[in-house]
Structure 1
Amino acid sequence: MDRYKRQISVIGEQGQKLINNAAIMIIGLGGIGSPVAQYLAAAGVGKLILVDDDKVDLSNLHRQILFNEAHIGCYKAEKAKDVLSNVNENVVIETHTKKFDVDFGYSSVSDVDLIIDGTDNFETRYLINDICVLKNKVFISCSILVNIIQLVLFDTKQLCYRCLYPNPPPIGVVPNCSEAGVLGTVTGIAGTMAANLALNYLLKIENEKVPQMRIVDAKNFNISSMPIKQNNNCFACKQRKISLRYLQNQCADYAITLDQLDRTKHFLVDIRQKEERKLAKLDDDLFFPIKENTDYSFFLSYEDKKLVFYCASGYRSKLFVSELRTLGVDAYYLNERLSK
């Protein structure tokens, strides 16, 4: 226990045992997930399950503190395990270099005490929520928009993310960090707060009578809390209308991987913004920034090849394809992260 004696002075040996016996899943090892994992490993959480299908990129390094230049091109989850094992060899670390999808999520969260959402896309955020509702799991949601941090602990037996935001926003309304930008210090604040909230939960000192959303303006150092409650119209946690079959049907999509891409049959369309295109693009494509274009007539009449849309991560293109398909367009999306 000598390793933990400074924190045992605060939480006692029984508190340390609660931490040592806990299993936490961290989904996303970016700007938020990196400090979360670092501090929870150092605190002695017994088991960490790290989930991220992304690889380290140079543009990650200003905020993703687990990684360095030698890690570029490697899976984040694997390199995070290497780093964290050197921080605390007593922590059991399990890694998954795959996307958090319905089947994986449903089968993997059963034995964890807490899930922490460090992702930056709404598709995964809502899926994490829905899986936790199905499994009656507690999870922490931490998100950032430029300088504003939102942090909530959801006990899905009482309320969930959909109580606050029933459905994802329309495409392009809320940018992610690659579009809006973010300071590394802001993600560090967010991740540290999320890690502290996780420890409070494990130590059973997160005992608010009314659940709270913490809101931090990192630019002005303003911190506030807003009481939140279950929405009686929430079809997820209140009406319990979500099932595994429902999620599987919702997530059935029209994805194509790079390995499946055939330029003789597929026509690529880049739907990102001009600034993103400067960083990386695929050859022989059509540039169609959807934030600036609302005329989809070309796609309605195009019949030469199958249309395959792409963005930085696949999230925006997936939503756009869903929209086009309601108009009768035979559209697909590239389910790959675009390397910079």
Structure 2
Amino acid sequence: MSLTREELERYKRHTILPEIGVEGQQKIKNASVLIVGTGGLGSPIAMYLAASGVGHIGLIDFDVVDESNLQRQIIHKSGNVGISKTISAEATLKELNPYLKVSLFNMALTADNALDIIKQFDIVTDGTDNFATRYLVNDACVISGKVNVFGSIRQFEGQLSVFGTKEGPCYRCLFPEPPEPGTVPSCADAGVMGVLPGVIGTLQATEVIKQITGIGEPLTGRLLNYDALGMRFSEVKFMKDPDCPCCGDNPAITELIDYDAFCGTQQVLTADITASELKEMHMKNEAPFLVDVREPAELLQGEIKGALNIPMREVQVRMHEIPKEQTVVVYCHLGIRSAHVIEYLVKQGYTKLFNLTGGYDAWESLG
């Protein structure tokens, strides 16, 4: 469908650019983009692509809006806390651009549905925060022949690249193996500067527009690194790996796999204790031995009285400080890192271990 007179007026700051023009704007209108995740990165990606005139945007996310999201996930509003992120995001996008078609997938992207969803769109943007989904998005895009505009953030740093082009490398060429489980904390555990995803997400949207219109030099084969504290950009160049199991000359990955197993992120089975149960034990002076595996900077949020702080990365060398004969409760911010610590300690012969459900966050909520 051709651009209407109203749309030409709306996008005239684009159409007067010789590199884009009316022809380029028509390509933008005809394009479809799937945004995986409507959080910190997905927010600016979706908003700028909608404002730029992308005709069809797909949003996939299984989560609901939480109060803690609002510090950085600018597509969501205070009044939308508790509702589906995809529905919340759609309302913002439709208000921003009434000419936009939005497709909602209120679910997690999985190996079972990824190919069916991705094939409906021209380009995919990865705004996720976990390695299992990043490898899933990468493999699904390579198998489907779709470009993957990748971004990631943590604390004060961000990364950006474009994967899956016909001649370019994929995510596995750069990162053949995922990191050890628990060694790279999520934003929920490590924190993130509120404006950081705005920077990286906007750059992702830029790369999408370049891919659609064919202008400029794409970020293919280049990893752009952003250091917010130093206000510096740096670049690492990398090549397509002919032996890559996904996009190489003789790919071994021709169908999607179990990505939680590949990344070692299957749910760790632990014996749990709730914050209220632990609080009751404290009140009765029956508190167990407490091990806090958060980083020292996280202790500024608060501590549980009497807990021994051994950051997760130090557990292996300080394990002797944890008694084997006592009941031990291990906790972190949300209970994820502590579960992996318990899994490790069990292999070392510990038996009386409990994970604090919801971590210190749950403890603090009790007041």
Alpha-carbon contact 2:138-2:164 (below 8 Å) kept: no
Match of 2:23 among 4, 7, 14: 14
Equivalent position of 1:219 in the other structure: 229
CA distance in 1, matches of 2:266, 2:229: 40
Match of 1:273 among 294, 299, 306: 294
Match of 1:232 among 242, 247, 250: 242
Gaps of 5+ in 1: 280-286, 299-308
Q: Cα 1:28–1:240, aligned 2, differ >3 Å: closer, same or farther? A: same
**Residue 34 of structure 2: SS of its match in structure 1?**
strand
Q: 1:164-206, CA deviations, whole angstroms, 9 ceiling, x for partnerless residues?
A: 1111111232222222222122211111111111111111114
Match of 1:169 among 158, 179, 188: 179
Q: How much does 1:233 deviate?
A: 3.0
The higher radius of gyration belongs to 2
Alignment of 1:193-272 (within 5 A): 193-208=203-218, 211-238=221-248, 239-244=250-255, 246-247=257-258, 250=261, 267=272
Q: Cα 1:268–1:53, aligned 2, differ >3 Å: closer, same or farther? A: farther
Q: Cα 1:62–1:246, aligned 2, differ >3 Å: closer, same or farther? A: closer
Q: Cα 1:267–1:148, aligned 2, differ >3 Å: closer, same or farther? A: closer
CA distance in 2, matches of 1:106, 1:138: 13
CA distance in 2, matches of 1:121, 1:52: 13
The 10-residue stretch of structure 1 (245-254 or 209-218) with the greater mean CA deviation from structure 2:
245-254
CA distance in 2, matches of 1:324, 1:47: 49
Alpha-carbon contact 1:197-1:206 (below 8 Å) kept: no
Query: Which letter maps to 1:173?
Result: T
Query: Which letter maps to 1:15?
Result: G
CA distance in 2, matches of 1:14, 1:322: 57
**Residue 36 of structure 1: SS of its match in structure 2?**
helix
Equivalent position of 1:30 in the other structure: 39
Equivalent position of 2:137 in the other structure: 128
Query: Which letter maps to 1:220?
Result: G
Provide the TM-score with structure 1 as the length reference.
0.77
Query: Which letter maps to 1:189?
Result: V
The 10-residue stretch of structure 1 (109-118 or 212-221) with the greater mean CA deviation from structure 2:
212-221
Q: Cα 1:44–1:139, aligned 2, differ >3 Å: closer, same or farther? A: same
CA distance in 1, matches of 2:335, 2:272: 18
Match of 2:202 among 192, 208, 212: 192
Percent identity among equivalent residues?
A: 33
Equivalent position of 1:282 in the other structure: none
Query: Which letter maps to 1:43?
Result: S
Gaps of 5+ in 2: 1-6, 275-290, 303-308, 323-330
How many pairs were matched up?
Answer: 324
Equivalent position of 2:123 in the other structure: 114
Match of 1:50 among 50, 59, 67: 59
CA distance in 1, matches of 2:216, 2:97: 25
Alpha-carbon contact 2:60-2:104 (below 8 Å) kept: yes
